[in-house]
Amino acid sequence: MIKIYSPASIGNVGVGFDILGAALAPIDGSLLGDCVTIKSSKKFKLINKGNFSNQLPLNVNDNIVWKCWNYFKKKTNLKISFTITLEKNMPIGSGLGSSACSIVSTLVAMNKFCNNPLNSTELLVLMGKLEGKISGSIHYDNVAPCYLGGLQLIINNNDIISQLIPYFKEWLWIIAWPGIKIPTEKARKILPKMYDKKICIKHSQNLAGFIHASHSKQEKLAAKLMIDLIAEPYRINSLNNFLHIKKTIKKIGAISFGISGSGPTLFAISENISTAKKIADWLFNNYLENKKGFVHICKLDPIGTRIIR
């Protein structure tokens, strides 16, 4: 029997639409992500549990875990069945890579159980395909950091899916999920199909500058360049009082602020724990819409998906 944990993640990371992703680890030591336990059995069986298991489809064939098993069998030509227990601890449609958590933990568990028939690149490609089944298009900015940890830049060229880029380990990432969901596919349809050339040039400048600042350890420059020109202007109408919240959080002392993935989770970055706690308290009192919502102060998870006992 193997138990695998996969962490939540921030897609886009503000400036990197579909090509930057960051894995999260709460500083209080709690696990923010999904767990999958797997053991062999005569036929496939799925057991759903966890805080958000009630959000999962009733038909097992519609569950992403079943689809992972089906794709894995076809890819490896292995005739094997499992009993899989999914601990669904991530809310669906939260903007924290919930589907990626389930996909990555399931595929890694099956691959390890079967003595690693797929290498890491083959696994990532399969993860991306399955993520595309849910969101409407293949993208790796959640599955890559969820699997590999850290801050991942999606390359998807020359047989390289993603690469780790340097990140500022002292940064504290405050994330706030209000307790409601926004489906990724719906959020992607809001975006325009064409962008003005000036916007594209400025976006490229910001993204290239952020990557350069990360490698050259220019912390203030990196934070200043985390500007989302691609998605944020079109998604803010789906988030209550976004501009007021952004202004307030930056006034408290955040060095960066944005939408995590497709939302509705918001993220802020602080350089010190005192400011991080003030931001977390404000978001808890002013952004959460129900008791399901949560706020966490995190650092980036350097490990990603791993076996837990």
Whichever domain contains 254, its CATH number is: 3.30.70.890
158/180 same-domain check: no
Full residue range of the structural domain in which residue 209 is found: 172-299
Q: Please give the model's pTM, rounded to 2 decimal places.
A: 0.95
Provide the residue type at 244 as one letter: H
Cβ 14 vs Cβ 227: under 8 Å: yes
10/145 same-domain check: yes
43/78 same-domain check: yes
186/50 same-domain check: no
pLDDT at 187: 85
Measure the CA–CA gap between 307 and 309, rounded to whole angstroms: 7
155/7 same-domain check: yes
- Paired tokens of 25: 């680890």
Q: Considering only CA atoms, which of 22, 23, 47 is closest in space to residue 37?
A: 47
pLDDT at 58: 87
**40 CB contacts (<8 Å, ≥6 apart)?**
80, 81, 82, 83, 113
162/260 same-domain check: no
27/152 same-domain check: yes
Q: Can you give the pLDDT of all 309 residues of the chain as single tens digits? A: 999 999 999 999 999 999 999 999 999 999 999 999 999 999 999 999 999 999 898 898 999 999 999 999 999 999 888 999 999 999 999 999 999 999 999 999 999 999 999 999 999 999 999 998 877 778 899 999 999 999 999 999 988 999 999 999 999 999 999 999 988 888 888 999 999 999 999 999 999 999 999 999 999 999 999 999 999 999 998 898 999 999 999 999 999 999 999 999 999 999 999 999 999 999 999 999 999 999 999 999 999 999 997
Quick count: other Cβ atoms within 10 Å of Cβ 272?
11
Count of structural domains within the chain: 2
pLDDT at 164: 98
pLDDT at 134: 78
269/161 same-domain check: no
Measure the CA–CA gap between 119 and 148, rounded to whole angstroms: 13
127/197 same-domain check: no
39/184 same-domain check: no
249/115 same-domain check: no
Q: Considering only CA atoms, which of 286, 275, 91 is closest in space to residue 182?
A: 91
Give just the sign of the alpha carbon dihedral 82, 83, 89, 95.
positive
Measure the CA–CA gap between 124 and 206, rounded to whole angstroms: 27
Three-state helix/strand/coil letters over the chain: CEEEEEECEEECCCCCCCCEEEEEEECCCCCCEEEEEEEEECCCEEEEECCCHHHCCCCHHHCHHHHHHHHHHHHHCCCCEEEEEEECCCCCCCCCCHHHHHHHHHHHHHHHHCCCCCCHHHHHHHHHHHHHHHHCCCCCCCHHHHHHCCEEEEEEECCEEEEEECCCCCCEEEEEECCCCCCHHHHHHCCCCCCCHHHHHHHHHHHHHHHHHHHCCCHHHHHHCCCCCCCHHHHHHHCCCHHHHHHHHHHHCCCEEEECCCCCCEEEEECCHHHHHHHHHHHHHHCCCCCCCEEEEEEECCCCCEECC
CATH code for the domain in which residue 118 is found: 3.30.230.10
